[in-house]
Amino acid sequence: DVKVTQSSRYLVKRTGEKVFLECVQDMDHENMFWYRQDPGLGLRLIYFSYDVKMKEKGDIPEGYSVSREKKERFSLILESASTNQTSMYLCASSPGGGRGTEAFFGQGTRLTVV
Amino acid sequence: SQKIEQNSEALNIQEGKTATLTCNYTNYSPAYLQWYRQDPGRGPVFLLLIRENEKEKRKERLKVTFDTTLKQSLFHITASQPADSATYLCALGARWGGYNKLIFGAGTRLAVHP
């Protein structure tokens, strides 16, 4: 069974903290994505990666960075957490080739910044 | 500006009827379009993909149409059941360099009543 696993379901962090969200996939997928989901706004793409050590900015990269040192792991980093980063964060992976294969999502991490 | 629009209001229908959800987009030239189902507190799950050169796709009780002239996709669930109640997201495969990134709409919540 294919799996995308996010390290935490719920996180509470303080303003100014450095926050790491981890995502691991076991499908040998080339592509990995980080989205955030807010009511009424849908899923917004933060960063994506098409290969190890490769990263590209999505639509809302400000305040975030990513790391992909191994193919199966894609980490999202909030350098200095702020309250407007309180959200549901979703990681996804998909096979490479760019031909539109489905994306597999993790269960999500609900982050609250206080 | 680029936009993907789905009905923000919930769709309420009676069990056994056909549910039709709409996805409209502007200023995109998608290579493909996907539909996902999302249950509360969970990550989206892939349902169907339709490519730009396809008009219609079916899978069991699901049907998707794709009109690149109207810039619209319709998602139909026939013989709907209460278990079909969920939020349904459309996603465009938007060309970006040599790749396609997946851009999501905000979703439409469907409630099927017995």
Q: B78 in a domain, yes or no?
A: yes
A10: closest chain B residue by CA = B41
For residue A40, give the nearest of B105, B38, B102 by alpha carbon: B105
Domain count, chain B: 1
Res B97: pLDDT: 63
Instruction: Give me the residues of B, 56-85, that contact A with CB < 8 A.
Output: none
How much is the pLDDT for B31?
81
Which pLDDT band holds residue A97 (cuts at 50, 70, 90)?
A: low
Q: A 65-104 residues with CB below 8 A of B?
A: 90, 92, 94, 98-104
Q: Report phi then psi at A46, rounded to 5.
A: -95, -55
Q: What is the CATH number of the domain that holds B29?
A: 2.60.40.10
Out of B4, B43, B49, name the one closest to residue A105 (CB): B43
What pLDDT, on a 0 to 100 scale, did the predictor assign at position B105? 92
Q: What is the pLDDT of residue A2?
A: 67
CA–CA gap between residue B55 and residue B64 (Å, rounded): 8
Look at residue B1 and tell me if it is in a domain. no
d(CA A88, CA B86) in angstroms, rounded, equals 17
Average pLDDT over residues A84-98: 89
Per residue in A68-80, pLDDT (tens digit) is 999 999 999 999 9
Please tell me whether residue A85 adopts helix, strand or coil conformation.
helix
Name the token pair of A68. Answer: 């992909």
Which residue from A minimizes the CA distance to B30?
Answer: A100
Unique residue bearing structure tokens 């993909």: B49
Each residue's pLDDT expressed in tens, for chain B with a length of 114 residues: 678 899 878 999 999 999 999 999 988 888 889 999 999 989 999 999 999 899 999 999 999 999 989 999 999 999 999 999 999 999 988 776 666 678 899 999 999 999
Question: Closest approach of chain B CAs to the CA of A108, in angstroms?
Answer: 6
Q: Which residue of A has its CA nearest to B91?
A: A43
- What is the count of residue pairs from A and B with beta carbons less than 8 Å apart? 61
Domain assignment of residue B67, given as a range? 25-83
Separation of alpha carbons B109 and B76, rounded Å:
14
Give the closest of A40, A103, A106 to B102, CB-based.
A103
For chain A, domain boundaries: 4-96+105-113
Which listed CATH number (2.40.10.10, 2.60.40.10, 3.60.60.10, 3.40.630.40) goes with A4-96+105-113? 2.60.40.10
Among partner residues B4, B34, B106, which is closest to A40 by beta-carbon distance?
Answer: B106
In this structure, the number of other CB atoms found within 10 A of the CB of residue A12 comes to: 10
Residue B107 lies in a domain: no
pLDDT score of A53: 87
Token output for B1 = 């500006």
CA–CA distance, B83 with B96 (Å, rounded to integer): 36
Per-residue pLDDT tens digits for A1-59: 669 999 999 999 999 999 999 999 999 999 999 999 998 888 999 999 988 988 999 88
Q: Give the distance from residue B32's alpha carbon to the nearest chain A alpha carbon, in angstroms.
A: 7
Q: Token pair for residue A26?
A: 């076991």
